Amino acid sequence: MIAIMCALRQEISPLLSCMNVSKKFEIDETLFFQGDLNGQPLTIVQGGIGRENAIKATRCLLESAKVDLLISSGVAGGIRQGLKVGDLVVAERVAYSKQSDFDVEDLQLESDYVCNQKVVKLSRRLSGDLELKLHVGNILTVDKVINKASTKKNIGDHNPFLAVEMEGSAIAEVALENEVPFAAVRAISDDVDDDLHLDYDKILSNEGKVKVSGIALEVLKNPKKLAALKRLNKQTKNAAKSLAYFMPKLIPLIK
């Protein structure tokens, strides 16, 4: 069975519409959707935002089901010129840094995981026939949202990464500990020139969930942030649609 792990319902909703869902259940606040995609058994997991949630959800998944391939998916921030909203990034490697300051040239990595080469090769083969742009390269996992364009640009200028996100390396760590092949496919929700204009430390809970009250307070303090929030929401939906377009093409090829 193939399993796809995402952080948020907004990321998985378009994917769910592509598959036949036969069972939905929850284990320890982790949502599972089981079924098939074009006859291929598939489980989609909504694990929550951030490293700790990703570790918990991945362990929960691997304790409850036999998984032949685990794919970390969802949205990511582009950190190189040439990556646009809706583009896909298929990872060759996923690395993790727990730094809090990324406005420096030196990047300290805690771990670095090689992704499943079969998925990379199949994705390259598909890329020429896609109606969107697919990039193959490295993805960086961090512990906080990189919301400044200048910071994203600095990371991309000095390091061999195409995008940043918050769960991939944690999923890879647990998968490879359990000898489960791992891959990562992300869609760009904000590019290197996008300032997000939101303080995510205030709108994300310790459990990695979006706090509606935190968003409301941010908007009340600065009504201009509402426009930024709407724009990011639209871009996230576009990115999620890209994943829903690509996964039904990729998954049937994985034997």
What percentage of the chain carries pLDDT values higher than 90?
72
Domain count within the chain:
1
Q: Exposed (0-12), middle (13-18) or buried (19+): which is 99, by Cβ within 10 Å? A: middle
Residue 163: band (very low, low, confident or very high) from pLDDT cuts 50, 70, 90: very high
Give the domain extent around 121.
2-253
Q: Determine the pLDDT at residue 207.
A: 45
Asked whether the beta carbons of 42 and 204 are under 8 A apart, the reply is no
- Is the pTM higher than 0.85? The answer reads yes
For residue 123, the cross-strand partners are none
Please tell me the least confidently modeled range out of 8-12, 143-147, 170-174, 209-213: 209-213
Q: At what angle do helices 51-64 and 168-177 cross, to 10 degrees?
A: 30
| Residue carrying the six token digits 């940043």 | 164
Q: What is the pLDDT of residues 117-151, one digit of tens each?
A: 999 999 999 999 999 999 999 999 999 888 889 99
- Tokens linked to 55: 């570790």
Q: What is the CATH number of the domain that holds 40?
A: 3.40.50.1580
Mean pLDDT of 205-212: 49
| Beta-strand relationship, 111-114 and 88-96 | antiparallel
